[in-house]
Amino acid sequence: MQKLVEEFNKMKTAHQTKMPVSARLLDIQSELGELAKEYLKPTKYGTADFEVSEDFKLEFGDVLYSLLSLAEETEVDAKECLEMVLKKYKARLEKNNKLGSDGNV
């Protein structure tokens, strides 16, 4: 997926220069807010059942795109990062059957 984003960004004039990391992080935060809104609106703030909508999928895609763009712009291998964190989670599960670092999740 990261390669797809890299190739797409090369085609777009606006992405010829790297976005500052601080701006990219704010963009990711904004996109996460929009994703949350696509959960909160149809569920009446969590009081109704949730069904994945097209709008939710689009906002999820926006978050994913922004994260993968950050990976490209910072020369971070997203797949390697995912593998690292899965290894960390596996070790936590084996140690105390919890995912969270505080042992509560």
Sign of torsion over alpha carbons 100, 71, 82, 95:
negative
Q: End-to-end CA distance of the chain: give it in Å, rounded.
A: 29
> How much is the pLDDT for 25?
96
Q: Using CA atoms, how far apart are residues 20 and 39, in angstroms rounded to an integer? A: 29
The C-alpha angle with vertex 19 and arms to 64 and 77, in degrees rounded to 5, equals 50
Answer yes or no: are the C-beta atoms of 26 and 70 closer than 8 Å.
no
> How much is the pLDDT for 105?
60
Quick: pLDDT tens for 4-60: 999 998 887 766 677 899 999 999 999 999 999 999 999 999 999 999 999 999 999
pTM, two decimal places: 0.85
